[in-house]
A and B are shown apart, each in its own frame.
Chain A
Amino acid sequence: MTFSTMIMRGRHKQIAQSILSGKRLDGRGLTDYREIKLVTGIIESAEGSARVYLGKTDVIVGIKIGIGEPFPDLPNKGVLTVNSEFRPIASPNFRAGPPGEKSIELSRVVDRGIRESSAVDLEKLCIIPGKKVFVIFIDISILNHDGNLIDASAIASLAALLNTKFSNYEVENDEIKIKTGYTQLPVLNHPITVTVAKIEDKLVIDPSLEEERVIGAKLTITVEDSGNICAIQKSGSDYFNKQLILEAVKLTNEKIGDLRKIIVED
């Protein structure tokens, strides 16, 4: 064992003991978020954008809208895709190259929340049924990684969608002509995502990067406007028992109000 791993183990022990005693090293309670700052409409070249700071975690989401073909089984619906980039600028542990499994999981969890809650009215994005539809690209870029990337990305993605405008257009002889002026992207639902982390039998909200190294498993729960659950993802190599799962759902329901206020009423 090298000296640095010995120090790391000591630090991990300290983090774990502190959480088990109901407090965290940065002074937060177990279910407190770090300070959340949200800025929207910061990238002019994007149709929509938002940047979220969750403590030192910094995530930016840009939305671009293009024109493409619909899926053959959904000819009347626009297309929505979520992609995320863990660029080396954000952390010494990120490497250049194609998306890794964590990046893919993050995109797919954010995508699931938006898709299953029908957050975007995709039918309004159909231009010529079966031929031409608007394609919405949600691109998540991590700028500084200090833990809880999923919650930060979900907040930024929804805020960016609410901030998205696309050009007016008209169809003439199967040709799309762009007109002046913009229309707000139709957003029907506001899925809110909360990640609940587990260490032994304690549940913790918004873990920092250091805490994430100690935490065995996380449950990411997305709740839509009606209060129904629309997506869940467990990750990490530890397990939950049934009681803790139900507690995590309860905790999520207590937290979504505050988050919704920050995103929707901003």
Chain B
Amino acid sequence: MTKKPLTLINKKNIRVDGRKLDELRPIKIELNIIGNANGSAYIEQGKNKILAAVYGPKEVHPRHLALPDRALLRCQYHMSPFSVKERKRPAPSRRETEISKVIRECLSPSIFGEYYPRTSIDIYIEVLEADGGTRCSGIIAASLALADAGIPLRDLVAACAAGKVEEHLVLDLNGPEDNKGTDMPIALMPTFNAVTLLQMNGILTTDEFEQALNLAVKGCEQVYTLQKEALKARYINVKEEVEEE
């Protein structure tokens, strides 16, 4: 076993995983990977491995939940039992219930739900391996899965956390940093400068909060570029498939 480092950030401001303070973890995104879903995406962000799938718009079950003027949006964020060190019980925890709620609320402003009254759009996020910032990675993938499902969107929702670890403001906290420091995940629709998710736990002064917010917004903008690239790559694939036929 490797020895645990005593500090998470060394004197040269390099973090445990070799990143600079304002550097994202490497992100790999793939679209359309679950055959049964209307849209799906897979993301690897550092050690995070997360799947998102969208089913819908489709008939609502149970039917009494249907809304007369817009689609019903539902979201389930779930962690696989093997996604963390100690086995996680498969039943939804209180944490997962809360995260499902905030993710649903953060994607909701991006969707033209009024185009699909009396239907449901169901979003499922499955965390296969977790290493901090899974809700942000989940949002990135879920927003792309919605786009992949062909649901009209006002914008993609990008997400990224900023926070404070050992007196340094940092971007995109990994697991150990998240456990030790202050974590502030946000989600952003960059075209509208709209913050659709904002949470924080840990201590920040008002000034630090403002700096962290700016940092997280910058992180979201980088993520947004990657999301657009992934989406374009998907449609180039579709085009090639069609041309072959």
Contact = CB atoms under 8 A, between A and B. Distances in A.
Nearest to B186: A234
A115 B203 CA distance: 11
Interface string A232-253: 1111111111100110010001
Interface string A215-229: 001010000100111
B200 A231 contact: yes
B130 interface: no
B204 A234 contact: no
A237 B194 CA distance: 12
B108 interface: yes
A228 B204 contact: yes
A235 B102 contact: yes
Interface stretch (B46-54, B92-100, B132-140, B144-152): B92-100
B201 A116 contact: yes
A27 B19 CA distance: 54
Nearest to B113: A237
A239 B198 CA distance: 10
A236 B105 contact: yes
A230 B202 CA distance: 5
B109 A229 contact: no
A228 B97 CA distance: 28
Given A229-B203, A237-B109, A101 B194 contact: no
B206 A116 contact: no
Q: Which secondary structure dominates chain A's binding surface? A: mixed
A149 to B, nearest CB: 15
B197 A234 contact: yes
A241 B194 contact: yes
Contacts of A231: 200-201
A246 B193 CA distance: 14
A154 B94 CA distance: 19
Nearest to A116: B201
B205 interface: yes
A259 interface: no
A117 B189 CA distance: 31
Contact of A104 (B98, B184, B204, B206): B98
A208 B202 CA distance: 29
Given A116-B203, A234-B102, A242 B198 contact: no
Contact of A241 (B105, B195, B202): B195
Interface string A69-107: 000000000000000000000000000000101101101
A217 B106 CA distance: 10
A242 B193 contact: yes
A238 B199 CA distance: 15
Contacts of A108: 94-95, 98
Contacts of A253: 206
Given A234-B195, A237-B109, A239-B196, A112 B201 contact: yes
B98 A105 contact: yes
B3 to A, nearest CB: 18
Q: Which 9 A-B pairs have the closest CB atoms?
A: A239-B194, A232-B200, A237-B108, A234-B198, A239-B196, A101-B101, A104-B97, A104-B94, A237-B105
Interface of A: 1, 99, 101-102, 104-105, 107-108, 112, 115-117, 217, 219, 224, 227-242, 245-246, 249, 253
Given A104-B101, A228-B204, 6 more contacts: A101-B98, A107-B94, A116-B202, A235-B101, A235-B105, A241-B193
